[in-house]
Structure 1
Amino acid sequence: MTSTMQSSHNNRVSLKSRVQNFLGNKEGVGAIEFAFVAPILVVLYIGAVEMTVALSVDTKVSRAGNVTLDLITQGTTTSKDDLEDMEDVAKSILAPYASDQVALGYTAIQVNAAGTEARVQWSWRSDTETLPAKNSVITIPNSLMIGDAYYVRGEIANTHDLLTSIPFTGSTVNSFNLGETYFMRPRVGTEINCSDCNT
């Protein structure tokens, strides 16, 4: 009987010491923690890289749109050839990033004397988007509705491809569009003519 009780006591002590040893054993904890943290760090790193590149591309898209429109508004006339040349200007600004899908659009707009209506004078686009018809009413910001004002609206859009898909998120997004719209007045004279544009 005494031997049986002693054996039971020893088993309890042995089990207790095993539990204590298990709880006190710190080997492998770092590896387990890293296994939990590593995916988060990878996602944060890739996200930071993607955001940095996207911001850089967006800055270049904005600059390309501004520069090309500024060049157009420095003259009193333009043509399809001149406007098509703006694609090369935009692509040179966007380098070294991809620019094969860049799209440009320019629309000349005349506001009536009362400052209540704006109409299209001519329009051109580098892509296949539908162009507004000559003399059609067009909406512009209220702050630009000034009597007899003349503007050229410049639009630029470019598709930015992500460097990689973000792991562990299940996201299928691999690209998105970046674009800007600008309005500028002629630098010389009161209007800019384009005799061979769509209208």
Structure 2
Amino acid sequence: MMLMLNAIGETCGAFRRLVSRFRRETAGVAAIEFAFIMPVMLALYFLTMEFSQAIDANKKVGRVASQVADLVTQSNSVTRNDLDAIMKIGESILQPYSRSNIEIEVIQIEITDEKTPKALVDWSRRMKDGNFGKGPNKGTRVEIPEALMVPGNFLIRAQSSLDYAPVITWSASGKKATGLVAAFDSINMSERYYLRPRMSTEVPCGDC
């Protein structure tokens, strides 16, 4: 029994000395703290970078719509090729972002000269996924702000939209994100501008 008690006492003493030595040892404290803090710092860094890129892309989406509308309204007349070239110029504003394609639509709106005027599509052109085509059909009714509803007038409406793909969800192979990351798969950004023709009352498009 005495031998057993002595053995237990020696074991307890050794454990107390080990704990005391561990408490005095500070050489690895910085490394342990760094291991805890580093993931948080990296997360904050990437979130800050992502937010700044998203804000920049959103500003460019608005600039695309503004630039396209501005170029069209400076023309006396346009053709489909003219509109395609203008939308291609607008698309280049988004560079160097290239993780998803911007969609651009430009239409001329005619406001009918009647007691209760209507806003109708006169011609339209659209770029989607890098391909050009027709937008809403001629005569399609569209909604515009009440302040712009002036009978007998024409308006150019340019709209740009982008499904912004955050870096953390983007894959060069095109594979869809899964799990928690999938919740932030894309952020829809869009902007719309209305401008009046500058060189004449309207901007005709013969082959739209």
Stretch of structure 1 that moved more, 181-190 or 50-59: 50-59
Instruction: Work out the CA distance in 2 between the residues paired with 1:17 and 1:99.
Output: 60
AA in 1 matched with 2:75: G
Matches within 5 A, 1:140-159: 140-159=144-163
Q: Which residue of 2 aligns with 1:86?
A: 86
Name which of 180, 185, 207 aligns with 1:196.
207
The answer (yes or no) to whether the contact 1:120–1:135 under 8 Å persists in 2 is yes
Instruction: Work out the CA distance in 2 between the residues paired with 1:122 and 1:156.
Output: 17
Matches within 5 A, 1:1-199: 15-98=15-98, 101-113=101-113, 114=115, 116-127=117-128, 131-165=135-169, 170-172=180-182, 173=184, 175-197=186-208
SS across alignment from 1:107? strand
Structure 1 unaligned regions, length at least 5: none
Structure 2 unaligned regions, length at least 5: 171-178
The answer (yes or no) to whether the contact 1:99–1:158 under 8 Å persists in 2 is no
The answer (yes or no) to whether the contact 2:105–2:135 under 8 Å persists in 1 is no
Deviation per CA, 1:14-50, whole angstroms, max 9, x where unpaired?
Answer: 5444434333433422222222221111121122222
Q: Which residue of 1 aligns with 2:174?
A: none
Instruction: Work out the CA distance in 2 between the residues paired with 1:5 and 1:96.
Output: 76
SS across alignment from 1:34? helix
Deviation per CA, 1:77-100, whole angstroms, max 9, x where unpaired?
Answer: 222111111133123333333288
RMSD across aligned positions (CA): 3.3
The answer (yes or no) to whether the contact 2:161–2:188 under 8 Å persists in 1 is yes
Q: CA deviation at 1:163?
A: 3.5
Give the 3 Å change call, closer, same or farther, for CA 86–16 of structure 1 in structure 2. Answer: same
Instruction: Work out the CA distance in 2 between the residues paired with 1:99 and 1:10.
Output: 67
Q: CA deviation at 1:105?
A: 0.9
Q: So what's the TM-score if we normalise by structure 2? A: 0.73
Q: CA deviation at 1:3?
A: 9.9
AA in 1 matched with 2:36: F
Q: So what's the TM-score if we normalise by structure 1? A: 0.76
The answer (yes or no) to whether the contact 2:99–2:165 under 8 Å persists in 1 is no
